[in-house]
Amino acid sequence: MDHCGEIEKLIVARQADRLAEQVKALDEQGRKEVAARLPELLKELRARFDRWDDGLVAYGSALRVAGAATFGGAAAVASWLYRRDFAPQWDGPDADVGLVLAVLADRPAAWRADLAERLVLRLRVPDDRGMGLALALLRETGIEPPPHEPLVAGWVSREPSLSDDPLLDHLLPRLFEAQGVGRALQWDKASEKGWLRALLEAAESGRVRREALIDGCVRRFLLGGTPIDLRFFVRLHEALDPSPAEAAARARDYLRLLPASPGPVAELALKRLRACGELAADDLVEAWESLLFRPERKLVRAGMSWLDRSVRRAPELAGLVAGSLASAFAADSAELQEKAVELAVAHAGRMTEEGRATVREAIELLPPHLGLRASAAFAGGSVAEAEPAFVPPPLPAAPERVHAFPAPIESIEELMTEEARSWQAWERRLAGFVTLVGRDRAGMVAELRPRLIGGPGWTYREEAWEWVSLWFDGATHSLTGTAAVRQAWTRYMPKTRLAAPLRLLLHRAAEILRAVEEDTLPPLLLATPTHSTGHVAAAELVRRLEVIEAAGAKPLAADLQQALLRLPRTPDPEAMRRAARLTSGAGRIVAGWTCPEVAIEVEWRCNGEGEGHDWHDRSHSHDIRLVPSATVAPTGLPLVDLMLSVPEDSGGGEHREWWTSTLPSHREVAAAYLMPHALRRYWVHDTVGPEQARELARAEGPVGAAFAVVLARVLGDPRVPESVDVLLETAARGELPAEEVGRQAGLLVASGEVRMIDMVAALDAAARRGAHAYVWRIAATALPALLPAPGERPRNGLAGFVTLAAAAAEWSGARGEIPEIRAMAARRGGSGLLREIRRLRDLLTGDNGQEG
């Protein structure tokens, strides 16, 4: 009988059920024949599929059943079952376990035990594809599982059935030792049908000894691990709720957990120690000293409270606490030092003379104001001398605002190699193209055409051109005749709403392409900057107009309007008189030009609300929109009016890093366009960076809310430490709107747009470099938006912000009451935040520092 043929047909047909029946009926010779044929069949099946195809997996169950039934040695079967190329990934790892067990049932018990052990030792992760079969064979054979941590993690990764699981007695002790168990069970809770609930029920029924579970948890805590690793065991321990007697029997272990265990473990250890009754005096001291130097303020406060209550209840312990309190005098935490002094003073009368001497020796470790207090209570001790207050250095001088613009492009070689990666490079390229064409159009075509024909192909794209480089390429190809399309400026100018600065950039590029096609290109451009800020000197603008008029040409419309926006705010009377002598309309426009005054307002809209939004409500996110609006008299020039109007939906677009250069005399308007993009977005490149903030700082014009938003946002971005330089530069010029920056910084932090810790770091760096007075004005204006309402939980990092504000106030000699500070200082409590608030209040009011 052709055993191999029948088996092969069933494998190809993927009929694993029928295959299991057939292979069980094979005699020894038939099994050997099938086993010899399987490797070759596997190659033939694999050849039917592309290497990226997972079709071979579909044959996995049939192949696994065939190999398990026919290979002779346990090692060979284990290797075959673990082949990756036909692992049953999609049907679930246990899909064919029953069939494999069925074909293995007639193997000797020792052989199946050997296979079970081999499968276990191959496991690598809790969801290993061989886990189901390994567990099933272990349960079926009844052998003791070999020590292997992935097995335990895999066991607990499956739904428990502890009442009838033969593996429980073997694996339960390992559950508290094997790595990976805690992570596998980190989300398991007693309220759900899982391991926590199953273990509690097993302890209640007597299937598992309750003491074994408590001991297991404590043993796991002593082994150490991350909070995630230990989270499940903390839940289990607390659900078991050890009695005072059970806790007392494990008191030494709980004491060992106090100094360095993760916070949740140390908390439960403290809870059990305090509930287990009277501890020996040495144990109490060990516990107190362990808690005093924990990083968690909650545990430190709990340790102090325990120490205080213990001494009040048993005054004879007062002599023992002296050493603990003296150690706390050396702590880095001002809060801990202050509390230690408070307790030492409170219990000074109960201490022995030896204990009082111990405290006196440590007084020199305290800051002067606390040292004086302790020295008075203990009648002696050296008090440290007060250190001089830090005096910030003078504010750094601001660098020069203006430098000369780079020299113009003079050759075709430079024109074609200059990449427009910055607005400066783009302006040079644009001006160089127009000048070179005006100087020798025929020569330009003759030299440029071979470069374009021999270069990469270029065609007009049938879509809107939102990149200026597309318009430039179009102009060069139209000039040389290497590609052409008529009226590109109407066909490819974007119809969607774009930000006005981008639209101006595109109009300038598009009108050059149009002038090339219509042969109306002037000999030079008007708007090419003469200064690094983007400004065009009035005298140079008039000279360019004179050259164009002498050539009988007309300036380009968008170029003229950009030039007007680039004139300095300070008039040049002589240049205006020269312009008035010109006969062209452009000359008359320039002669009558005065810099328009624009008033910008910024409205915060959050969650669809405008004014009156409750920033203290943190029950939901604050969906921020910053909406600018402008008030300006129209000039009659369409692009100028568009640029200065700042519509509510100013749109987006490309070349955002160039926008400030289009408005060098109207930095608040430029900031209004950049402001919405300063907010955090999903894509990192959408945010405004320090270079744009620096260009705004070096531009001209009033500064207000829009500039303040941009500066506050980059200050709160830890990726751009250069933002501190921008703040210092603006402050050095006397142009920093500190109160407005503070108001916007407070709103950005309150809305969640900026992290408190990042804002504190930036402002602290600015204060230490000389801007302490400005930092105080910023912090004082920001605080009202950041202080919690009564009953509200303070924001993370607020105490640090108040500490910075107090330092800046002290350095700058600030005085004057802030109502919100006064109101919060009057609240009851002794938290670190309230202490800092009261210190700030006392600094501002000239009080002596006594708490109110």
Predicted pLDDT of residue 621: 54
pTM score of the predicted model: 0.66
Both tokens of residue 814? 């600030």
Residue 685 DSSP code: G
Predicted pLDDT of residue 852: 34
Instruction: Yes or no: say if 62 and 38 are a contact pair by the CB < 8 Å rule.
Output: no
The SS3 of residue 805 is helix
What mean pLDDT comes out for the span 781-793?
92
Strand partners, 71: none
pLDDT digits (tens, 9 = 90+) for 310-323: 888 888 888 788 88
Nearest Cα neighbor of 428 from 539, 308, 326, 524 is 524
Give the whole-angstrom CA distance, residue 391 versus residue 397: 18
- Helix then strand then coil, in percent of the chain rounded to 5, is 60, 0, 35
- Residue identified by tokens 């020039």 is 637
Instruction: Yes or no: say if 613 and 604 are a contact pair by the CB < 8 Å rule.
Output: yes
Predicted pLDDT of residue 455: 52
DSSP state string for 25-66? T--HHHHHHHHHHHHHHHHHHHHTS-TT--GGGGGHHHHHHH
Q: What angle do CA 119, 125, 127 make, to 5 degrees?
A: 90
Predicted pLDDT of residue 91: 47
Instruction: Yes or no: say if 92 and 127 are a contact pair by the CB < 8 Å rule.
Output: no
pLDDT digits (tens, 9 = 90+) for 619-642: 545 566 777 888 889 999 999 999
State the angle between helix axes of 756-766 and 738-750 in degrees (0 to 180), rounded to the nearest 10: 160
Strand partners, 604: 626
What mean pLDDT comes out for the span 569-587?
94
Residue 849 DSSP code: S
Mean pLDDT lowest for which of 228-242, 476-490, 828-842?
476-490
Predicted pLDDT of residue 616: 57
The SS3 of residue 624 is strand
What mean pLDDT comes out for the span 526-553?
95
Instruction: Yes or no: say if 389 and 811 are a contact pair by the CB < 8 Å rule.
Output: yes
pLDDT digits (tens, 9 = 90+) for 157-195: 999 989 889 999 999 999 999 999 999 999 998 777 899
Helices (H) and strands (E) in the chain — how many of each?
44, 2
* pLDDT band for position 593 (cuts 50, 70, 90): very high
Both tokens of residue 637? 């020039």
Instruction: Yes or no: say if 63 and 37 are a contact pair by the CB < 8 Å rule.
Output: no
Instruction: Yes or no: say if 480 and 452 are a contact pair by the CB < 8 Å rule.
Output: yes
pLDDT digits (tens, 9 = 90+) for 52-109: 445 677 788 889 899 999 999 999 999 998 887 776 554 455 678 999 999 999 999 9
Give the whole-angstrom CA distance, residue 491 versus residue 485: 10
Nearest Cα neighbor of 136 from 92, 110, 107, 100 is 100
Give the whole-angstrom CA distance, residue 850 versus residue 340: 18
What mean pLDDT comes out for the span 668-687?
72
pLDDT at 849 exceeding the cut of 50: no
Burial of 388: CB neighbours in 10 Å, binned 0-12, 13-18, 19+: exposed
Predicted pLDDT of residue 622: 57
* pLDDT band for position 531 (cuts 50, 70, 90): very high
The gap between the terminal CA atoms of the chain, to the nearest Å, is 102
Give the whole-angstrom CA distance, residue 181 versus residue 196: 12
- Residue identified by tokens 């059920």 is 17
The SS3 of residue 213 is helix
Instruction: Yes or no: say if 539 and 574 are a contact pair by the CB < 8 Å rule.
Output: yes
Both tokens of residue 50? 């592309």
Mean pLDDT lowest for which of 471-480, 646-655, 778-787?
646-655
Burial of 345: CB neighbours in 10 Å, binned 0-12, 13-18, 19+: middle
Nearest Cα neighbor of 247 from 281, 272, 268 is 272
Contacts of 407 (CB under 8 A, 6+ apart): none
Residue 679 DSSP code: S
Nearest Cα neighbor of 627 from 590, 666, 587, 676 is 676
Residue 526 DSSP code: S
Predicted pLDDT of residue 832: 81
- Residue identified by tokens 């030009």 is 593
Q: 189 versus 597: which is more confidently predicted?
A: 597
Q: What are phi and psi of 640, to 5 degrees?
A: -65, -45
Both tokens of residue 617? 């409500």
Predicted pLDDT of residue 315: 83
Predicted pLDDT of residue 93: 54
pLDDT digits (tens, 9 = 90+) for 468-513: 788 888 888 888 777 666 677 777 787 777 889 999 998 999 899 8
* pLDDT band for position 461 (cuts 50, 70, 90): low
Instruction: Yes or no: say if 277 and 294 are a contact pair by the CB < 8 Å rule.
Output: no
Burial of 204: CB neighbours in 10 Å, binned 0-12, 13-18, 19+: exposed
Predicted pLDDT of residue 850: 41
What mean pLDDT comes out for the span 327-344?
85
Question: Amino acid identity of 275?
Answer: A
Give the whole-angstrom CA distance, residue 714 versus residue 414: 36
Residue 405 DSSP code: P
Nearest Cα neighbor of 642 from 529, 572, 557, 584 is 557
Predicted pLDDT of residue 76: 93
Average pLDDT, the chain: 87
What mean pLDDT comes out for the span 688-693?
81
Predicted pLDDT of residue 221: 96
Contacts of 810 (CB under 8 A, 6+ apart): 389, 843
Mean pLDDT lowest for which of 158-172, 286-300, 409-423?
409-423
pLDDT at 335 exceeding the cut of 80: no
